[in-house]
Amino acid sequence: MKKLLLFDVDGTLMEESPTHTESFNYACRKVYGVETDIYSFPRHGMTDTGILYGLLKRAGLDDAKISVHINDALKIMLEYVKNNIKPEDYKLLNGVNTALKEFYDLGYTLGLLTGNIQGVAELRAEKAGISKYFSTGGYGSDSMIRSELVSYALKRLGIKIDLMNVYLIGDTPLDIKAARDAGARAIAVATGIYKIDELKNADLSLNSLEEKNKIIEFLKNQ
């Protein structure tokens, strides 16, 4: 039976991207004319679209005003990242390269499942040299709701895989929730801001992807 592993990016595969983070403030200023502070906004595990709505609402804008220009804002964010990307924006976490290569060589289908805008996620993966492993993705530009990204990833993949054989690998309780809401399985890694004790309700919780063998054992028994 085919198994699909969908990886979150920030805190799971890579360190957070400073340029991507700054692009929220830039887009809000450029498109909506408001000053926002992304750094004080609790955003971990959220989609980029969801973060934009949250930030702009906090700055006093309503849904209608935000939605009119949301696609422009996403476009401006991507442009900003493209123009300013630097090595700190695609720094892989320990063990990631080895783990991805091994999952790939074992015949698992891999994809991205990230709150990042598609162009930003693809650019960072490309720069980090890991895009060759991924056959599909669901992105923060597809939907504001993280669990909905799973169906986008399956659609892009173009082959039928039962949700019981889809695994979301992420670093926050919102990744676990997205897996549950989508009917998929959850694997958590404590390489983001959450400790392993806070990620215990996943089907499998690990300290980091350096423990890839635990994932391989776990998948074998499914």
Q: How far apart are CA 157 and CA 14, in angstroms?
A: 23
Strands 134-138 and 166-170 come out as: unpaired
CB of 174 to Mg ion, least distance (A): 8
Q: Which stretch, 9-17, 69-77, 147-155, 161-169, contacts Mg ion (CB under 5 A)?
A: 9-17
Copy the structure tokens of residue 63: 């849904």
Give the range of 1-9, 19-27, 64-72, 128-136 binding Mg ion by CB under 5 A.
1-9
Q: Is 11 near Mg ion (CB under 5 A)?
A: yes
Q: Which 144-183 positions form the footprint of Mg ion (CB under 5 A)?
A: 171
- Binding status of residue 48 toward Mg ion by CB under 5 A: no
By CB under 5 A, the count of residues binding Mg ion is: 4
Instruction: Give the CB-nearest residue to Mg ion.
Output: 11
Q: In what order do the strands lie in the sheet with 109-113?
A: 134-138, 109-113, 4-7, 166-170, 185-189, 204-206
Q: How far is the CB of 193 from Mg ion (least distance, A)?
A: 9
CA–CA gap between residue 38 and residue 24 (Å, rounded): 7
Contact yes or no for 50/142 (Cβ under 8 A): no
Q: Where on the chain is the footprint of Mg ion (CB under 5 A)?
A: 8, 10-11, 171
